[in-house]
Structure 1
Amino acid sequence: MRVAELTSAIKKLLESEVPLLWVRGEISNLVKAASGHWYFALKDDQAQVRCVMFRHKNQFLSAPVANGSQVEVLAVATLYEQRGDFQLTVEQMRPAGLGVLYERFAQLKLKLEAEGLFDPARKRPLPQYPKRIGIVTSPQAAALRDVLTTLRSRLPGVPVVLYPTAVQGTGSAEQIAAAVRTANQRAECDVLIVCRGGGSIEDLWAFNEEVVARAIAASDIPVVSGVGHETDFTIADFVADERAPTPTAAAQRVVPDRHALMRGLRDIAQHLRRAQRNRLQNAMQTADYLQRRLVHPAQQLQRQTQQLDQLHQRLQRAYAYRRQHQHWQWQSLAQRLQAASGDFVRLQDRQANLAQRLTRAMHNTQQRHASRLENIAQHLVYLDPKQVFARGYSMVQDANGRVVSDAATLAAGDELRVTFAKGWAKAEVKETGGK
């Protein structure tokens, strides 16, 4: 068997029998070739193995890699046939310990989710117009400047209370939880922002601690979590009442945009002006209609007099027509009487009787109509304002000609016009009283 055949067989055996696996160790003898490929050794205190990571794999790494870095690599065990060297072909690389952190993250997430801390039903709505906003973060954090700048630009004048705390490092989780509890004890804010800027999973780990999650869940104040960048998710995001992708976005969630509010107010004001204008126009039209219907007593009396004259003329015409009609009937009867020569006397007596009845009926009808006409005329006399004035009454009008019927509408110094049965006079109000 040739050497090439041996190394090829060993390579196939390694790649088929040893699965893709994570290996942890320290980087040494790192060489970054001009081609972009990396060559290094991965070692611990007892052994080492050669490794290669090609350019199309290492170009996606975000964390810096150098000699002495503790890393975990996902690699394929293989054999470099030209030299017969055993090596690992690296597919992925991450700082050592991330696997443990991811496992802790997943376990805590499952635990809290089972307890119902992520349940949307327990999430509370944020106040639409908060009176005071609390911020839990580091005073030196860039996230604080971003939040304050956003709050000032969207709704300036809203008071802000800072609950300072470390957001990274040993003991930071306990400090964050304590700051959330302090904000609830003081109860001076309507909404609470828990935030910090982006970073690695280790930098953000304080927001994955159980003590922080439970403090947020127990908060009586609605909490908005704005930790890291859009792609970063922490346990605090799941527990908070609302998750914002960045600190700036968290500030945008808790306060409305003043420009949008101003536009809304302008629209409402325009609507109110339009409604007020329409209501005023309707009232003016109603007043004009009522004014047209309002008739002066003199005009009403004149119209009723005209109606009475018309009725009198119709009565006279009806009386003349009836008299003429009865005359025609009398002539017809006379002709019929004359034609009935055989019983002339009887017919003559009947004619006389009918004539008397006709005369009485005409007289009674005339008297009845005359009496009705006299009653109507007497009624009109009673309605005549001049008759009322003749009994000592008068009509009082203000400077605009409106009739005054209530002393409460007058004030001292108002000029009045008083109309009597004969003539009129101007007067000035000295004092008013009575109800």
Structure 2
Amino acid sequence: MSEYIFLDTKPRVLQVSELTRAINQLLEGNVPALWVRGEISNLVKAASGHWYFALKDEQAQVRCVMFRHKNQSLDSTIANGSQVELLAVASLYEARGDFQLTVEQLRPAGLGVLYEQFARLKQKLEDEGLFDATCKRALPAFPRRVGIITSPQAAALRDVLTTLKRRLPGVPVILYPTPVQGAGSAEKIADAIQTACERNECSVLILCRGGGSIEDLWSFNEEVVARAIFASAIPIVSGVGHETDFTIADFVADERAPTPTAAAQRAVPDRETLLKGLRDTAQHLLRSQRNRLQNAMQALDYLQRRVVHPAEQLKQKSTVLDQMQQRLQRNFSHGLQQEQWRCKSYTHRLRGAGSDFRRMQDKLVHQSARLVQAMQTGQSRKQVRLATAGQHLGLLNPAQVLARGYSLVQHSDGRLVCAAEQLATGDTLRITFASGWATTEVTERGV
């Protein structure tokens, strides 16, 4: 199509869409993908996920588009003012005839070697524990002096001084001048930190510099600066670059501020805030004192109502004493009457019990005589029964039977012999007499 349009010798009126399409084909076919460096402005992150922005430098700008599938893996810190390098294809947006770059890759400016150095040093220092939160010190609430480490010509210095003067006018400020970019600046920054620590004049140090490219801020990414910050005996606030800028110094410092102005705000308290706090405290104390005074007055009124004149107190006590004396007399009289009545009652009971005592005594004598007679009668009966039982026992005694001429015959094993059938010729027998015993042998038996 493009060859036909531009090589045709016959003049032809083109449609706008034909022209923009032909120019787009020329750009896409003849301009390769290029790396371009510049600053992002007018960034729009559409709801669809696509990014639209302008890439500019001091003299020109160009429209750019980066589609969602290309920007999903990028850091969300990309914003207006970011210095970036991007790989893009030149094209023409045919619908509007706008020249634009279709971005394939995007990275912060200087990402190449410098960013790799940054990443390696950051990982090394992090592994050594220089970023550990437990190593970071708290900033003093009321610093006696504030030290500033920066270039005397830096615009950040004016911002910091203005902020310090506005927030806490009376705090002394000591400047430790040092270059903040260029060859050898990192070593000079480290020397300035060491000098401030050796002189020990300040309670807090502000390490600051204005914004710039990664190359401009590179001094704050040097290892010598990081180790000087970590070894500092004085707490350090890092305020380097803009809010989107991060340096190694920010990670090592005791506190990181997004800007030099913010670093000054972190380093000293706000005078107006302090004054307001003092006013609020004074009002609180006044209210507390007033409340205590009012409470004391109310307590005094209450105590005054309770206070009684000594004469009145004596009169009241006398009245109470009289009442107690009357109660004591009544109680004594009543108790005496009770005891007298109880004594009379016991007397009557004792008198009534005299005749009963004599009657019971006579009954006891009579019962004693009956008991003696019953015991004698019972003893006689028992003696008669005992004699009768003795006679019966004598009659049943085997010794009495044996005494009449009978004998007791037993086998050798002790069995009694009651009949001849229990015997056999040759058995040995034991014969027990009334007096003594003998053994014999059966030679003959009869039935």
TM bracket, shorter-chain basis? 0.5 to 0.7
| C-alpha displacement of 1:225 | 0.6
Counterpart amino acid of 1:201?
I
- Could you say if the C-alpha distance between residues 63 and 289 of structure 1 is closer, same or farther in structure 2, counting changes exceeding 3 Å? same
Instruction: For structure 2, list consecutive stretches of 5 or more residues without a partner in the other structure.
Output: 4-22, 37-42, 44-50, 61-83, 91-100, 335-447
Q: 58, 61, 64: which is aligned to 2:55?
A: 61
- 8 Å contact kept, 2:204–2:236: yes
Counterpart amino acid of 2:193?
V
CA deviations 1:353-397 (Å, max 9, x no partner) are: xxxxxxxxxxxxxxxxxxxxxxxxxxxxxxxxxxxxxxxxxxxxx
1:285 equivalent in alignment to 2:279:
no
CA deviations 1:23-71 (Å, max 9, x no partner) are: xxxxxxxxxxxx99x99xxxxxxxxx965769999964344589xxxx9
1:258 equivalent in alignment to 2:271:
yes
The corresponding residue for 1:229 is 242
| C-alpha displacement of 1:301 | 3.7
Q: How does 1:12-411 map to 2 (within 5 A)?
A: 51=32, 60-64=54-58, 74=87, 98-304=111-317
SS of equivalent to 1:276: helix
Counterparts of 1:166 and 1:147, CA distance in 2: 17
- 8 Å contact kept, 2:142–2:268: yes
Counterparts of 1:295 and 1:93, CA distance in 2: 94
- Backbone CA RMSD of aligned residues: 4.3
| C-alpha displacement of 1:292 | 3.2
SS of equivalent to 1:61: strand
- Could you say if the C-alpha distance between residues 240 and 308 of structure 1 is closer, same or farther in structure 2, counting changes exceeding 3 Å? closer
| C-alpha displacement of 1:147 | 0.6
Larger radius of gyration: 2
SS of equivalent to 1:163: strand
- 8 Å contact kept, 1:51–1:89: no
- Could you say if the C-alpha distance between residues 62 and 160 of structure 1 is closer, same or farther in structure 2, counting changes exceeding 3 Å? farther
CA deviations 1:188-217 (Å, max 9, x no partner) are: 111111000011111111111111111111
- Residues paired across the two proteins, number: 267
- 8 Å contact kept, 2:35–2:86: no
| C-alpha displacement of 1:271 | 2.1
Counterparts of 2:247 and 2:322, CA distance in 1: 101
- Could you say if the C-alpha distance between residues 62 and 164 of structure 1 is closer, same or farther in structure 2, counting changes exceeding 3 Å? farther
Q: Give aligned-pair identity as a percent.
A: 71
- Could you say if the C-alpha distance between residues 110 and 54 of structure 1 is closer, same or farther in structure 2, counting changes exceeding 3 Å? closer
Counterparts of 2:31 and 2:85, CA distance in 1: 14
TM-score normalised by structure 1 residue count = 0.52
CA deviations 1:217-274 (Å, max 9, x no partner) are: 1111111110000111111111111111100011111112222222222222222222
Instruction: For structure 1, list consecutive stretches of 5 or more residues without a partner in the other structure.
Output: 5-34, 40-48, 78-87, 323-435
SS of equivalent to 1:105: helix
Counterparts of 2:131 and 2:275, CA distance in 1: 36
- Could you say if the C-alpha distance between residues 169 and 297 of structure 1 is closer, same or farther in structure 2, counting changes exceeding 3 Å? same
